[in-house]
Chains A and B, each alone.
Chain A
Amino acid sequence: MKLFEYEAKRIFTNYGIPIPRGELATSPEEACRIASRLNFPIAIKAQVLVSGRGKAGGILFAKCPSEVKESAARILGMNIKGLKVESVWVEEKLPVKSELFFSITIDRVKKGYIALSSSVGGIDIEEIAEKTPEKLVKFPINPKYGFRSFHARQIASKIGYTGAKQTQLASIFQSLYSIIEDLDAELVEMNPLVETTTGEFIAADARIIIDDNALFRHPEYKKRLFEAKTSEFSREELKALEKGLAYVKLEGNIGIIGNGAGLVMATLDAVQHYGGQPANFLDVGGGASAERITAALEIVASDPKVNVIFINILGGITRCDEVAKGIINAKEKVGYDKPMVIRLVGTNEEEGKRVLSEAGIHVLESMEEAAEKAVQISQRGLP
Chain B
Amino acid sequence: MGIIVNRNTKVIVQGITGTQGRFHTKAMLEYGTKIVAGVTPGKGGTKIHGIPVYDTMAEAIEKHEEANASIIFVPAPFALDATLEAIESKMETIVIITEHIPIKDSIQIMHLAKENNTTIIGPNTPGIITPGECKLGIMPAHVFQQGMVGIISRSGTLTYEIANSLTQAQLGQSTCLGLGGDPIVGLNFIDVLEMFEKDPHTKAVALIGEIGGNLEELAAKYIQEVNYPKPVAAFIAGRTAPPGKRMGHAGAIVMGKAGTAQTKIEALKAAGVEIAEKPGDIAKILAQKLRT
In this complex, the member of A108, A258, A269 whose beta carbon has the largest number of chain B beta carbons within 10 angstroms is A108
B77 at the interface (CB under 8 A from A): yes
In the complex the two chains form, what is the Cα distance from A112 to B24 in whole Å?
A: 31
Minimum Cβ distance to chain A for residue B223 (Å): 16
A285 at the interface (CB under 8 A from B): yes
Return chain A residues, CB-CB under 8 Å to B67. none
Return chain B residues, CB-CB under 8 Å to A216. 76-77
Query: Is B157 a contact partner of A316 (Cβ separation < 8 A)?
Result: yes
Task: Pick from A90-98, A206-214, A292-300 the stretch touching chain B.
Answer: A206-214
Contact of B253 among A125, A207, A316, A345 (CB under 8 A): A125
In the complex the two chains form, what is the Cα distance from A107 to B213 in whole Å?
A: 9
Chain B 139-177, CB within 8 Å of chain A: the 1/0 string?
Answer: 110010000000001111110110010000000000000
Return chain A residues, CB-CB under 8 Å to B87. none
Task: Pick from B33-41, B46-54, B273-281 the stretch touching chain A.
Answer: B273-281
B250 at the interface (CB under 8 A from A): yes
Query: Is A265 a contact partner of B210 (Cβ separation < 8 A)?
Result: yes
A287 at the interface (CB under 8 A from B): yes
Given contacts A113-B107, A125-B253, A213-B76, contact A262 B210 (CB under 8 A): yes
Chain A 201-229, CB within 8 Å of chain B: the 1/0 string?
Answer: 00000010101011011000000000000
Closest to A51 in B: B248
In the complex the two chains form, what is the Cα distance from A279 to B269 in whole Å?
A: 31
In the complex the two chains form, what is the Cα distance from A269 to B235 in whole Å?
A: 11
Given contacts A105-B247, A187-B248, contact A114 B254 (CB under 8 A): yes
Given contacts A108-B183, A250-B242, A317-B20, contact A186 B249 (CB under 8 A): no
Query: Is A143 a contact partner of B161 (Cβ separation < 8 A)?
Result: no
Q: Please give the number of chain B residues whose Cβ is less than 8 angstroms from any Cβ of chain A in the complex.
A: 66
A266 at the interface (CB under 8 A from B): yes
Given contacts A109-B218, A266-B158, A347-B140, contact A184 B237 (CB under 8 A): no
Return chain A residues, CB-CB under 8 Å to B164. 345
Minimum Cβ distance to chain B for residue A148 (Å): 16
Query: Is A266 a contact partner of B253 (Cβ separation < 8 A)?
Result: no
In the complex the two chains form, what is the Cα distance from A366 to B279 in whole Å?
A: 11
In the complex the two chains form, what is the Cα distance from A259 to B111 in whole Å?
A: 31
Closest to A367 in B: B161
Minimum Cβ distance to chain A for residue B241 (Å): 6
Interface of chain B residues 202 through 218 with chain A (CB within 8 A): 208, 210-211, 213-215, 218
In the complex the two chains form, what is the Cα distance from A26 to B23 in whole Å?
A: 53
Return chain A residues, CB-CB under 8 Å to B143. 345-346
Return chain A residues, CB-CB under 8 Å to B240. 268-269, 272, 278
Chain B 105-138, CB within 8 Å of chain A: the 1/0 string?
Answer: 0111011000000000000001000000000011
In this complex, the member of A107, A125, A260 whose beta carbon has the largest number of chain B beta carbons within 10 angstroms is A260
B184 at the interface (CB under 8 A from A): yes
Chain A 248-269, CB within 8 Å of chain B: the 1/0 string?
Answer: 1010000000111111011011
Minimum Cβ distance to chain B for residue A140 (Å): 10
Minimum Cβ distance to chain B for residue A256 (Å): 11
In this complex, the member of B104, B164, B208, B254 whose beta carbon has the largest number of chain A beta carbons within 10 angstroms is B104
B101 at the interface (CB under 8 A from A): yes
B32 at the interface (CB under 8 A from A): no
Minimum Cβ distance to chain A for residue B5 (Å): 17
Query: Is A103 a contact partner of B158 (Cβ separation < 8 A)?
Result: no
A281 at the interface (CB under 8 A from B): yes
A181 at the interface (CB under 8 A from B): yes
Given contacts A189-B250, A211-B104, A316-B160, contact A109 B214 (CB under 8 A): yes
Given contacts A268-B241, A316-B156, contact A106 B103 (CB under 8 A): yes
Taking A107-B254, A187-B251 as known contacts, 10 extra A-B pairs with beta carbons closer than 8 A to each other, sorted by chain A number, are A101-B249, A105-B254, A108-B183, A109-B188, A111-B110, A112-B110, A258-B157, A260-B156, A269-B239, A367-B279
Question: Mind listing 10 A-B residue pairs with CB under 8 Å?
Answer: A108-B254, A113-B107, A126-B252, A143-B108, A184-B104, A187-B247, A187-B248, A207-B248, A314-B140, A368-B278
**Top 6 A-B pairs, shortest CB-CB distance:** A262-B155, A260-B157, A214-B102, A263-B157, A105-B250, A265-B237
